[in-house]
């Protein structure tokens, strides 16, 4: 069995601003270095407060109990939904045998990609869904 090799990584987050609402799309926060359709992602990993209590941006990460109430959609530079409504739980490494989720590499459109809530119970305003992207830079090996 194979596991992913990290070449570069960056923590990203989608913040549930206001009262968390079922079905609403919460886009990932812009990070200038990787928001110009300039990274090729080949894997990612999601976190709850069990793995990362607070993000480096000082936002509280969602509790582990709500990891089955979120879905993630990642969109490429052609606006195709390359990963559509993936259960957040599936991307938490420690809950999946230690395997990092791998995807067929694609150029990510970060700020169009989003997280949706399927049930708002237990999710507080301004908490974040935090994901670590594993990527290489476009044009780089």
Q: Which residues bind another protein (CB under 8 A)?
A: 1-11, 42-43, 45, 47, 49-56, 58, 93-94, 97-99, 102, 104-105, 132
- Structural contact between residues 127 and 9, judged by C-beta atoms closer than 8 angstroms: no
Toward another protein, which CB reaches closer, 102 or 120?
Answer: 102
* Least spacing, CB of residue 56 vs another protein, in Å: 5
Report phi then psi at 10, rounded to 5.
-150, 130
- Minimum CB distance to another protein smaller for 28 or for 42: 42
Pairing of strands 39-47, 70-75: unpaired
In angstroms, give the least distance from the CB of 93 to another protein: 6
> Measured from the CB atom, is 60 or 77 closer to another protein?
60
Give the position of tokens 């879905």: 71
Alpha-carbon distance of 88 to 13, in angstroms, equals 13
Closest CB 70 distance from another protein, rounded Å: 18
Nearer to another protein, 16 or 135 (CB): 135
Q: Which residues neighbour 118 within 8 Å (Cβ) at sequence distance 6 or greater?
A: 22, 23, 69, 70, 71
Minimum distance from CB of 24 to another protein (Å)? 26
């Amino acid at each position: 069995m194979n596991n992913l090799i990290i070449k570069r990584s960056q923590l990203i987050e989608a913040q549930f601003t206001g009262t968390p609402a079922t079905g609403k799309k919460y886009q990932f926060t812009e990070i200038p270095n990787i928001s110009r359709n300039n990274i090729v992602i080949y894997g990612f990993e999601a976190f709850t407060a069990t793995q990362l209590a607070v993000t480096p941006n000082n936002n509280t990460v969602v509790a582990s109990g709500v990891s089955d109430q979120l879905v993630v959609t990642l969109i490429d530079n052609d606006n195709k939904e390359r990963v559509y409504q993936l259960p957040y739980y599936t991307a938490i490494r420690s809950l999946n045998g230690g395997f990092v989720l791998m995807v067929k590499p694609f150029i990510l459109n970060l700020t169009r990609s989003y997280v949706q809530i399927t049930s708002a119970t237990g999710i507080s305003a301004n908490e974040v869904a935090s994901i670590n992207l594993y990527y290489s830079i476009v044009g780089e090996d």
